[in-house]
A and B are shown apart, each in its own frame.
Chain A
Amino acid sequence: MGEAIAFYVLAALILGFAVLVVSTRNTVHSVLYLVLNFLAVAALYVMLTAQFLAVIQVLVYAGGIVVLYLFVVMLVNLKRPPEDHSAPQRKSWVGAGLGLLVLGELGGIVAYGRLAPAVSPMQNTDLAINNVERVGMLLYTDYLIPFEVASILLLVAMVGAIILAKREL
């Protein structure tokens, strides 16, 4: 019961902050709502006994990446939004289409989730105690190739960013 209440409160907070991120006019405020959103998602991870994921979410997303966002937003003066030349109607159609696509995807996931057996993670004490070890073992055994591919992708992105930023090396 308490768990369900906590989940719904957190879900409402996550959605509310997400709406505020895109609807706030002040860019810095919008970035701040993004931080709150990430923190609420981290709380959701804690509820799923994924403490490691929750802490990494706070460390990497809320504490690292968004600080860089804030840095850029503060350095670039965004007082006035850039002037809009495209037809507003067409853009809203694209938005609605994308929104419907995401909604359909979510519906698909929910429908698929109904078929799979329900798991109650709170009872799995081994997962709760050896969270970090489990994640590490999975990353370096079953998911080794995706893990390495992701790291190469990040390396390529980093090299690309350096080349773009510093033309004369």
Chain B
Amino acid sequence: MIDTFLIPLLKILFVLNATLIGVTYMVLLERKVIAWVQVRLGPMRVGPYGILQPIADAVKLILKEDITPTKADKWVFTAAPIIVMVPALITFAVIPFGPAVHLFGREVPLYITDINVGLLYIVSVASMGVYGIILGGWASNSKFPLLASLRASAQLISYEVGVTMTLVSMIVTAGSLSMVRIVEAQYNSHLWYIFIQPVAFVLFFIGGLAETNRAPFDMAEAEQELTGGFHTEYSGMRFALFFLAEYANMIVVSSVATTLFLGGWLRPFPNVAALSFLGFIPGWIWFLVKTFVFLYVFLWVRATLPRYRYDQLMRLGWKVLIPIAIANVIVTAIVKVLL
């Protein structure tokens, strides 16, 4: 009873809350990092160095008036932010944060579940998130959101192909679809997969930027062209859900990249005895640090690179990323057979 219901429930509650808190602080971190890049201070008023800013923002968004446009499709308009948020959160069910730990005399693995199709589960759940963006734009019954959601859906479909092909080469390398077994395979191969599959890593990261609608691929919310993007007509908490889902997706992509390429909870160069003094740091701290590095790069990229033009974006996806990804799969498969 305790093992089948209580512990998974507690883990789900913990992961869900940790993610949501992480997401709200990602917003603050983004403002701070971009401010530092531009030699500004960023939010400084609410609390010391602005650390209470996310709470002030949340209060503001909850108290704001919630407007549904008269001509909007009411049900779809209401459902769209939920459809965006839910896939981003349920992905965390299969992400392994660390190895099993001993807590209060029982062995508790630091992941909610380990299913044998874990990686495919993440891809398929992530592919449901695009509905929220398309429907949000369509249901608003307004021109700019509709244009933005068409852009977003075309972009997401294109980059999903490339990312999925990249993941196929990782599956071939690891020989498993289970997230936990992929980490264990990296332990057995003595190397993180970023050293074995550097091309796949670059492809995955570019694809991840596009899949999360982040700069330089944030076509769906290009303010200069589309006023606000697909969420122009949304206000208050519904807008906040779209906003938070974007950051939750960033955390998802970072966690998946950490698991696939940076060895998840493993320390650098696992199995090398000379570095075993690093073992005193628990696995979940390694995982969090690596994920944080990825998140920082997301923000850094946003502060550095200008936005792509739309046709360049599609050309990059179809004519560059997908062919390289397919070639990478073929090369990986040949090497795997020969070795």
* A interface, CB within 8 angstroms of B: 26, 28-29, 32, 35, 51-52, 55-56, 58-59, 62-64, 67-68, 70-71, 74-75, 128-132
Contact = CB atoms under 8 A, between A and B. Distances in A.
Nearest to A68: B157
Given A51-B117, A58-B125, 10 more contacts: A32-B76, A55-B117, A56-B120, A59-B120, A59-B124, A62-B127, A70-B138, A71-B150, A74-B150, A75-B150
B124 A132 contact: no
Nearest to B115: A51
Given A32-B76, A71-B150, A132 B130 contact: no
Given A58-B124, A59-B123, A132-B177, A67 B153 contact: yes
A35 B134 CA distance: 14
A26 B73 CA distance: 11
Interface in B103-123: 115-117, 120-121, 123
B138 A74 contact: yes
Contacts of A68: 157
B174 interface: no
Contact of A58 (B73, B128, B157): B128
Contacts of B179: none
B116 A63 contact: no
B76 A28 contact: yes
B256 interface: no
Interface string B206-217: 000000000000
12 contacts: A28-B76, A56-B120, A59-B124, A62-B127, A63-B128, A63-B130, A64-B127, A64-B157, A70-B131, A71-B134, A74-B134, A74-B149
B146 interface: yes
